[in-house]
Structure 1
């Protein structure tokens, strides 16, 4: 990587047939192959990055999760053994929790200790997809039982073992298995899109569980995503087509059939088989799609043109655009804290979890000092701003409001950074 600028965003993809490597990293804009990670094959909807330091993916049709240190691509670092076949996998945005679908049950671990915090058994069939909200406050699980469940993270992990956790919402309007889900921005105020074999994509309000929109297609929908501004839904069909649905068209009705029109609803044609994964770049200009036709395509959203086609050796199981973790391109870097051994059982035995009274070393981000409350921070900020205003006036800036406002804004920015 010497002499080359580290890319801002990269493509990470995997297919079911790779013999030489599992995951491949491509430059989003040039399409050139940058890295490959060896060992095993990745199951669909199971690729996740942990703390920018580890890459994880569930082994295809097996009961374990593959782990790579993100800069050590040539060897698997460890395997997390699970009680059954892992059907989907995701990490919380802050890297504190790891969630996996193991058949019908949802397993949630604390990453710093490897402790299995809870097993949620509210789905009646295999869980197919899992997503956290961007603030890590909630996660959503979709399953073959046609249900999507919204879970409050803290509500789940703070319950005592005698109580079975209840989902915050049960989204039950699909009539066939859920194949994929997308969670937008804004934490608990986000909107969630679910795709299903019932030929619909449904958009929900996370906070209320209310159905906002249902779009009916002519084919089964295998994947779904949204651009960051939520102008468009992108829906991957079993026929290889990608349907772009405008969310900003006039006279939006709650239930409608997809029609290609001039208001932004279009069809992107190029794949020859079902579209299994979709992802949009941070600036909302590029769409990535992976397919069972053994290709990954990059699309220009504005022109609807496929601008790059990356050949794979088997049906594509994962394809995502992600911010490039800094450690990915620093060969000498190492994770700040190694991953512990992950427990398979809720009540950890001594041989699995170490001696009683063992001290857990947590990442520096989660030090044990007492956290200031929001009110304390606000009071501190107000005092500092008052002091700044007095100082600015004392220097004779009072007659120049713009000057004093600018000075205060810059100092406020520094204070927010400090807080």
Structure 2
């Protein structure tokens, strides 16, 4: 039995960026994150990782959005305030996402920080001009302008005790200042940091303050004194911190040993969370299970935010790679990982016996393991530079290989717990390893290609130790003179194909003896694939074409053209009868090989589509690209075919019923059915049949149909009106329905467009009838003039 071909894939879900850096905040109940995403603020449900609301679009139909520089959520979670590029400050209702108030900030520079007071009745805006403005939310007026700081504000915070009337700020001058919010005068200057101040926190009694900075210290201050009480060296740049509540637990820490203490959790360049007792200058806890890599740059950052939710006693770590990792504070076990922004998605593979997981390589050294049913994410660490390529073993769905810019290849395995472990590492390449392909019939070997222009074949050990094995390269060949973009192994494991920037594809034996060169592309070859059933190989190129080649004589059998730019990925499906292709034009195309016809073209991406993964039964496709989107598509060809069959059967029954009604002269029922079936010709036939009994009969008949059917009839009448032969029926329908339209009983959508379409033809018919009447009158006159003459003769 011939395999039915695919006809259409339908997008079922799309996972795009929701946090691209900047401000991020947690709602009081711990259910949502507010994340800065390009020009918008997105509200993300933690459980479903779905975008439930968006702030930032003007909502008045404007094309351009006003980019958001920073935002702040009120303490009671009722409102959100945002500062914009245009110099405006907007107050949003959190529940509805609508703007409550907009006003101009009045700063000379852009607003860098915003803060609510404890009662959420005042807002402070700190600018790059070194000034703070205080705003009364009841009257929306500026109550004070606080001066004294220099540069851009990095910290802005009201004191938690509203009776103290204090606000604190720190800018580029590294000094922390406090001002009286009533008088607007500077109260105290806290000078102790020698680099940017990144965070300040107040103790529960309101008497002390802890500050952190890029100068690798935490400082404890007494608010009434400008001199620091204690300076604690923490040996890393601290970007973020929070004060732990009076009662808390963390692993391996007995609080009873420290009866007095101010406990601070902080993080920065080393990528781990540490808890310090700042009153005792003692490190109490250091995280050992961090999923954030330490920064490799001097003065760089690994963690940008630490957020604590007291309601749930959970902590979230936000990494510089835009990953959000949620921990239970008491056990410090990782509860959830969320990816806010994947940058470019470079490759995707399905893994697991049920193919219910996908591994994604993004512009990062960490791989991302997604669970397909809920898109929960896990970070997989191992590579030391960006991962470029992935390939799975068809005979063992839990094993896959990866390669990257660290010049290495790695073998991984998914275990029963849903965790991934690295089984082996190979480091024989001298350049970035850009593509991989695995043995199709066994798990004994795989091939890799690199920027060093080498093609390598790697042996896979039969048994792996508990430690990472060192992989051995069995064969190496200098395969091309330019960068090699792709590699593929044939279904019988006998041939290896490579494609390069040198515009050629080459075929090799298992021991890397060259079999032949495929020449014909005008630009670099991006992808090579072997047919699962025929002795043919498929190549795609930067010349926007896909070519099908004979392996036997290396001739080009077919060329498929349709993409507007480079074709980056190709796959055979339907037992080699169809091709899927993705390109730099953002399109996914489905081709029939036999007819060379493009059956489907989907535009789901805003940039290059680098990655394409198809599951084993070809029911699901996942694409990923430079727009950071993961798009899941489902094969709906069978449903579409079934639907068409059902519709055809229903149509045959309706047509038979219509013929029966016409035969039995049940004209009203026939008219209703013909209108429902959208049959203008049958409706005209019925109207003409009714007209045999006179215009009054037509008028009575039209009273028995509803307004929707009258609208359809008017549309058909406008169609008949274009033909001289049918214009009488059309004009009579217009004449009968016109009083209903004028009285408003019949609402016609786009009435003006309908009149514009019908009027020219009506005028033409009127002119023709007028001319006909004139001609008839002239003939009558001529005949009358001729009659007396005949009598006289």
Q: TM-score scaled to structure 1, two decimals?
A: 0.61
Query: What residue number does 2:379 align with?
Result: 79
Q: 1:194 Cα deviation (Å)?
A: 0.8
Q: Distance in 2 between matches of 1:164 and 1:117?
A: 9
Match of 2:601 among 296, 306, 309: 309
Alignment of 1:9-408 (within 5 A): 28-37=6-15, 39=339, 40-41=341-342, 43-51=345-353, 52-59=355-362, 61-72=363-374, 75-82=375-382, 83-93=384-394, 94-103=396-405, 104-112=407-415, 114-134=420-440, 135-154=442-461, 157=464, 165-186=471-492, 189-206=493-510, 208-217=511-520, 218-248=522-552, 252=553, 265-311=557-603, 312-324=605-617
Q: 1:327 Cα deviation (Å)?
A: 11
Q: Deviations over 1:107-164 (max 9, x none)?
A: 2234337443332111111011112112222111111111111111117957998x96
Distance 1:110 1:157, change over 3 A: same
Q: Distance in 1 between matches of 2:534 and 2:574?
A: 12
Distance 1:281 1:327, change over 3 A: closer
The runs of 5 or more residues in structure 2 that have no matched partner are 17-338, 622-793
Give the conservation status (yes or no) of the 8 Å contact 1:221–1:236.
yes
SS at match of 1:293: coil
Equivalenced residues, count? 285
SS at match of 2:373: coil
The runs of 5 or more residues in structure 1 that have no matched partner are 1-7, 10-26, 329-419
Give the conservation status (yes or no) of the 8 Å contact 1:48–1:90.
no
Q: Distance in 2 between matches of 1:131 and 1:305?
A: 29
Q: 1:28 Cα deviation (Å)?
A: 4.6
Q: Distance in 2 between matches of 1:304 and 1:291?
A: 18
SS at match of 1:44: strand
Distance 1:166 1:77, change over 3 A: closer
Q: 1:190 Cα deviation (Å)?
A: 2.8
Distance 1:268 1:156, change over 3 A: farther
Greater RCO structure (CA 8 Å; 6+ sep): 1
Distance 1:318 1:28, change over 3 A: farther
Q: Deviations over 1:174-213 (max 9, x none)?
A: 1111101122212xx432211111111111122x322112
Moved over 6 A (4+): 158-161, 325-328
Q: 1:171 Cα deviation (Å)?
A: 2.9
Q: TM-score scaled to structure 2, two decimals?
A: 0.34
Q: Distance in 2 between matches of 1:181 and 1:195?
A: 7
Q: Distance in 2 between matches of 1:193 and 1:156?
A: 28
Q: Distance in 1 between matches of 2:391 and 2:413?
A: 13
Q: 1:222 Cα deviation (Å)?
A: 0.9
Give the conservation status (yes or no) of the 8 Å contact 2:614–2:620.
no
Give the conservation status (yes or no) of the 8 Å contact 1:107–1:120.
yes
Give the conservation status (yes or no) of the 8 Å contact 1:286–1:299.
yes
RMSD over aligned Cα, in angstroms? 3.0
SS at match of 2:449: strand
Give the conservation status (yes or no) of the 8 Å contact 2:535–2:551.
yes
Between 1:313-322 and 1:277-286, the stretch displaced more is 313-322
Give the conservation status (yes or no) of the 8 Å contact 2:424–2:471.
no
Q: Distance in 2 between matches of 1:285 and 1:76?
A: 35
Give the conservation status (yes or no) of the 8 Å contact 2:387–2:402.
yes
Give the conservation status (yes or no) of the 8 Å contact 1:230–1:247.
no
SS at match of 2:479: coil
Give the conservation status (yes or no) of the 8 Å contact 2:455–2:479.
no
Give the conservation status (yes or no) of the 8 Å contact 2:349–2:360.
yes
Query: Which is greater in Rg?
Result: 2
Give the conservation status (yes or no) of the 8 Å contact 2:403–2:434.
yes
SS at match of 2:345: coil
Q: 1:47 Cα deviation (Å)?
A: 3.3
Distance 1:284 1:202, change over 3 A: same
Give the conservation status (yes or no) of the 8 Å contact 2:361–2:387.
yes
